[in-house]
Structure 1
């Protein structure tokens, strides 16, 4: 009876995939497809479009596998492709209208899960709802940066690459978002502690 292979790291997995290993490809798909769908659906309200984009990404990397470059991480590479594809679609259609920051509109972008700020912490429903609403009100680039950092665990350099901005801009967006959230929750000690975890 065949057993699933274990890949030591992203590099080994990617190398096997580039050589046409279907099991490696399936492993990449299983590991990353749901994350890409969740991220894409926070960038665009057209969920059918996001499903198509994610499927296209996996079809594209499979057909071009032998010519693809070495990776920093597979997750980073796939996130960047999805974002680039959505940016190109936005340039050709009003599906992803901008808000003046050359990113997706506020009402369509990133409603981040509260879980990424409340990991292993207990808060009441009212406080959680207040924090969620505060995050949604952040400028779109701040929201995207904070989501990539705390929900998807990307480094500042990786966020810069995904968003197409420089390292310092990422730091600025994160700092401004955290300061804004901290100011909104000065009367809520537990929320302050949670926000302070990321300072």
Structure 2
């Protein structure tokens, strides 16, 4: 994560935040809020509810900042809190999961890394659209794992922690997703590159 020049590194940023530095809090918010909103909207079709949950997370961490412990990374911590809150709402039947026909716009489905690979391979716009459409056809857990891996660059261990599953389950979800994409898009070299990143 890029930090401002006034903070040496992420631990320094987190420490300043814990001490009540409003600039540190603002930087954490600016850096992570849009990613959290994007991730939450893939888990829940009620985007207003996702907005509220993300705002609540930032209010909560500011209120409890002095009691929060050191963490793996700020990004990992925030993703895990958002997912836990949405999971609790789902358990209370207050959250509606994303339906097959209620997905994000195609532009939002592709991660920067996938876009970069597509550009590098000079694949056509048509192929890029086909890949985006294929990702929307994945089961929700596989789609979530692919999103966390490609869009947010989390490791398998981090994905396991965020999703609340074990490491092997993450590997299984990613392998099944990539196998599905390979079978659906056998003519696209981009899929072979994606598979090579994980296998």
TM score, norm. by length of structure 2: 0.86
Structure (1/2) with the larger helix percentage:
2
CA distance in structure 2 between the aligned counterparts of 1:196 and 1:87, rounded to whole angstroms: 29
Cα offset for 1:118?
2.9
CA distance in structure 2 between the aligned counterparts of 1:55 and 1:61, rounded to whole angstroms: 10
Residue pair 1:136, 1:143 contacting (<8 A) in 2 also:
yes
Provide the aligned C-alpha RMSD in A: 2.0
The gaps in structure 1 that reach 5 residues or longer are 98-103
Sort the Cα spacing of 1:49 and 1:94 in 2 relative to 1 into closer, same or farther, 3 A.
closer
Residue pair 1:33, 1:54 contacting (<8 A) in 2 also:
yes
Residue pair 1:118, 1:194 contacting (<8 A) in 2 also:
no
Sort the Cα spacing of 1:21 and 1:63 in 2 relative to 1 into closer, same or farther, 3 A.
same
- Give the corresponding residue for 2:110: 113
CA distance in structure 1 between the aligned counterparts of 2:34 and 2:170, rounded to whole angstroms: 25
Residue pair 2:42, 2:144 contacting (<8 A) in 1 also:
no
- Give the corresponding residue for 2:81: 81
The gaps in structure 2 that reach 5 residues or longer are none
Residue pair 1:41, 1:47 contacting (<8 A) in 2 also:
yes
How many residues matched?
Answer: 189
CA distance in structure 2 between the aligned counterparts of 1:35 and 1:105, rounded to whole angstroms: 21
